[in-house]
Amino acid sequence: MKQSPCVGDILLENEAQITVLNKKKLGSGATCEVYLCEYKNTKAAYKKMTKIESHSYFPKQLFREIAITQQCEHPATLKILAFDIRPSKNFSEIKAMILNEYYPKKTLDDCLKEMSSSWTPTDRTICMYGLARGIKHLHTTWKIIHRDIKSSNVFIDEHKRPHIADFGFSKENKNLDQSRACGTPYYMAPEVLTQKFSFPVDIFSLSIVFFEILEGKKCRMKTPNQFQGFKLQKFLNNEWKQGKRPAFTQTKAELKELIDHMWCYEAEERLKIEDICYKLENPDYWIDGTDKNEFLQYKKMIDDYEKDFIGNRVGLDTQEMIQYFNNEVDDDEFSGFSDDLDIDDDDQNDSNHNNLKDNDFLFVRKLIKLANKYNSEAMISLGILFKEGVIVPKDLVLSLKYLNQSLSFGNVYAEILINEINNIPNQNSVCEKEKHFIIGQIHESKGEITDALTSYLFSAKLGHAEAPGRIGSILLRQTDHFELGEKYLLKGAEKNNLFSMYWLAMYYLSHQNYQQSISLLKKCLQQNHFEAASALGRAYLELKDLEMAKKYFRESFKVYHDESAIKFIKFINLELSDDKGENEDFD
């Protein structure tokens, strides 16, 4: 099953893994040079950035592009194989590089000249459909607007399949910075200059790309330069508003009609991307001569990918719950909901807060949310919290994860904290068992599993309470030694170590040992593990004890501010209302 992509998974471990195959450049731009290279036995495009000043906005913009591209990975988007962004020794400059999949046919823009001669009707129809499905993935799954769809931002593979690239201008719809025009003039929707735009800007741009695919040539309308704001606004308001469009010469009526509904002057009149995909699945909207079996095979490949990916995002066992959760809850639905989830005094006493305030957990949740949106300040804050064990359990593996992500995002101050952690084992005040435990965490954060296990084992022999749990968690995650992993987790749990108890509880939960899991999770909850309440809710839900499940999901939301608990509460309320004819939390 497809996992939600993580930026840390593609952080380059060693530049020696890259072998440049030809010193001749594949291309170059104002900020980069591109070479053909080999990486892990695969040909790749090695995009090496020129010198970047560390105080500039460019490092963050570059990392955001990498993060969005990786997050939105799809059969119709560009795949990033690896990247590296790090400061020079004196912090004055940033060194950066990206490894992309290598596409020998380059971009759709490069292919337009040969389209009428070497591209079959099937190739062109599938290219249009693939672009539509890729944009649909951005719009509906991630709520992201690309803002710079054009033929030069679409790479073509050896099978003539499209891959959307260049997410530098992309933004989440609800967080869209509309303070400046983005894009290329003749691909640019009229409303872009008004600074009030949303998903339809991509539909407009896509219509121009479709025109180019169908006509086999560039769109050559005479448009002012992007930065000649007044002239461009006059052109868009006059020419486009009056209905002037590129002239078709060889496009069938159905596809003309489709494009006419995509490049409407008024944004609200344009087709939605779902409607465009639906129409392109109808043979009436295929280029004459398209091979039905080849088209359906490509469609099935994308359908299977998206079904697998969405299924993993939901992560539920029963078909009924999957069906219900497909109706995602908007963030706005959380506001004002807390009052409907009153927790009585007994419930609050069960959680044993030990002087931690609800606001502390809310603060951590907000930081995690911001970090997931590639906010480097949130990442470095989480790194500090996990480093010091404030609000959350002390965990140098997680601390180093967030600090390294923050550094990769261009936050050079994170390196100071990383170096501080790396130097802890050298301090005379650190005892032997703690020294080896910290060395183990440093190795684990780098993915050096054998070295991590060796250090943890040495620390465990010296009596470190958490070291057995660390060994057990690695054995369960990274090897097939499940029984041995369980034994090490039990050793840590016997010492009431929070890390060991939680990992063992989740292992039991995944293996349907619900009562054992519940017993351990209650101990974790007493020690303020802020995921324990939610896990207890899931365990009781598996046991069909809806009242107890609801109790812990309510606590997870009310006390630990876990917004995902709301979906479970709603589902349980629906189940209970079938039996009782009432829905108490929503009266």
3-state secondary structure 191-210: HHHHCCCCCHHHHHHHHHHH
User: Rounded to an integer, what is the distance from CA 171 to the centroid of its chain?
Assistant: 13
d(CA 515, CA 548): 13
Q: Which of 209, 200, 240 is nearest to 223 (CA)?
A: 240
d(CA 229, CA 235): 10
Q: What is the pLDDT of residue 174?
A: 45
How far separated are the first and last CA of the chain, in Å rounded?
39
d(CA 402, CA 387): 10
User: Rounded to an integer, what is the distance from CA 548 to the centroid of its chain?
Assistant: 33
Q: What is the pLDDT of residue 513?
A: 93
**Cα dihedral: 44, 46, 47, 49 (round 10):** 160
d(CA 126, CA 118): 15
Q: What is the pLDDT of residue 168?
A: 58
42 with 32: CB under 8 angstroms?
no
Assigned token pair, 411: 């936050």
Residues in the chain: 587
| pTM of the predicted structure, to 2 decimals | 0.55
d(CA 430, CA 438): 10
Q: Which of 498, 395, 373 is nearest to 442 (CA)?
A: 395
Assigned token pair, 335: 């506001």
Q: Which residues contact 100 (CB under 8 A, 6 or more apart)?
A: 44, 45, 47, 78, 79, 80, 81, 165
Which sequence spans correspond to the domains of the chain? 7-101, 108-307, 330-410+466-586
Assigned token pair, 482: 């499940």
77 - beta bridge partners? 164
What DSSP character marks residue 176? -
Query: Which class for 531: exposed (0-12), middle (13-18), buried (19 or more C-beta within 10 A)?
Result: middle
Query: What string of pLDDT tens digits covers the 587 residues of the chain?
Result: 444 455 556 777 677 788 998 888 888 776 788 999 999 889 999 988 876 655 455 666 777 777 778 778 899 999 989 888 776 655 556 678 889 999 887 899 999 988 888 999 999 999 999 999 999 999 988 888 888 899 999 999 999 999 999 875 555 554 444 434 444 567 888 887 666 778 999 999 999 999 999 999 988 655 545 444 445 556 666 677 777 788 899 999 999 999 999 999 899 999 999 999 999 999 999 999 999 999 999 999 999 898 776 544 433 333 333 333 333 333 343 344 334 444 343 443 443 444 444 567 788 888 888 888 778 888 999 999 999 988 888 999 999 999 988 887 777 788 889 989 999 999 989 999 999 999 999 999 988 888 999 999 999 999 999 999 999 999 988 877 888 999 999 999 999 999 999 999 999 998 999 999 999 999 999 998 889 999 999 999 999 999 999 999 999 988 888 888 888 898 888 888 766 554 444 33
Q: What CATH number is given for 7-101 in this structure?
A: 3.30.200.20
Q: Token match 């706005």: residue? A: 332
Q: Which residues contact 365 (CB under 8 A, 6 or more apart)?
A: 560, 561, 562, 563
Q: What is the pLDDT of residue 181?
A: 42
Query: Which class for 488: exposed (0-12), middle (13-18), buried (19 or more C-beta within 10 A)?
Result: buried
User: Rounded to an integer, what is the distance from CA 506 to the centroid of its chain?
Assistant: 24
Helix residue ranges per DSSP H, 315-413: 319-325, 345-351, 358-372, 376-388, 396-408
Q: What is the pLDDT of residue 157?
A: 94
Pairing of strands 144-145, 18-20: unpaired
Q: Which residues contact 327 (CB under 8 A, 6 or more apart)?
A: none
User: Rounded to an integer, what is the distance from CA 40 to the centroid of its chain?
Assistant: 24
Q: What is the pLDDT of residue 515?
A: 95
Helix (H, G, I), strand (E, B) or coil at 223: coil
d(CA 68, CA 63): 9
Per CATH, domain 330-410+466-586 is 3.40.190.10 = no
Q: What is the pLDDT of residue 33?
A: 87
H or E segment and range at residue 81: strand 80-87
Q: What is the pLDDT of residue 579?
A: 60
User: Rounded to an integer, what is the distance from CA 237 to the centroid of its chain?
Assistant: 37
Q: Architecture of 108-307 per CATH?
A: Orthogonal Bundle (1.10)
Q: CA-CA distances (angstroms) from residue 330 to 143, 325, 537, 564?
A: 12, 12, 22, 11
83 - beta bridge partners? 11, 98
d(CA 557, CA 21): 54
Give me the amino acid identity at 494: E
Assigned token pair, 208: 């121009």
Q: Which of 528, 523, 530 is nearest to 500 (CA)?
A: 523
